[in-house]
Amino acid sequence: MKTTVKVEWQGKLRFKGTNAYGQSKVIDATDVKGRPAGVTPMQLLLMALGGCTGIDIVIILRKQRQNLKALTVNVAGHQRSDPPRYYERMHVEYVLKGSGLDEKKIRKAIQLSEEKYCSVRAMLMDKALVTSSHRIEK
């Protein structure tokens, strides 16, 4: 399967990434005040990991007939201090809300995502230690 995106320079250090369906995202390094005016490439990587595993978790828990009402995936990355400044460590925290959620099924869904389904995580495993935790909120 082939996936393509287009990334166009918009001036300064800003780019616009567009997928084959015309959906786009601003990618930026810094604005005039030294802050990103868009999402940085490394933040996009963390978002990709959170989105990938989050989609898996929702699909798996639906198949398990769990009453999931909300899922937040918090991803923290710790970069090397020297170039290339890739993430050496990442932590994924799953925060689930719903009624009657089964702890065993949640652990299984997370395990399946992390070990089998999440392509983004699989690509990162050679470079970074990726850990996770979860909690259920009422």
Distance CA 20, CA 2 (A): 11
Per-residue burial over 47-74, b if 16 or more Cβ lie within 10 Å, else e, is ebbbebbbebbeebbeeeebebeebebe
The CATH number assigned to the domain holding 108 equals: 3.30.300.20
Domain count, the chain: 2
Residues 77 and 62 in one domain: yes
Question: Does pTM surpass 0.95?
Answer: no
- Along the 138 residues of the chain, how does pLDDT read in single tens digits? 899 999 999 988 889 999 999 999 999 986 667 776 789 999 999 999 999 999 999 999 999 999 999 999 999 999 999 999 999 999 999 999 999 999 999 999 999 999 999 999 999 999 999 999 999 998
Distance CA 58, CA 63 (A): 9
16 contacts 41 by C-beta, under 8 angstroms? no
Q: CB atoms < 10 A from the CB of 30, how many?
A: 13
Distance CA 55, CA 45 (A): 15
Residues 17 and 68 in one domain: no
Residues 69 and 81 in one domain: yes
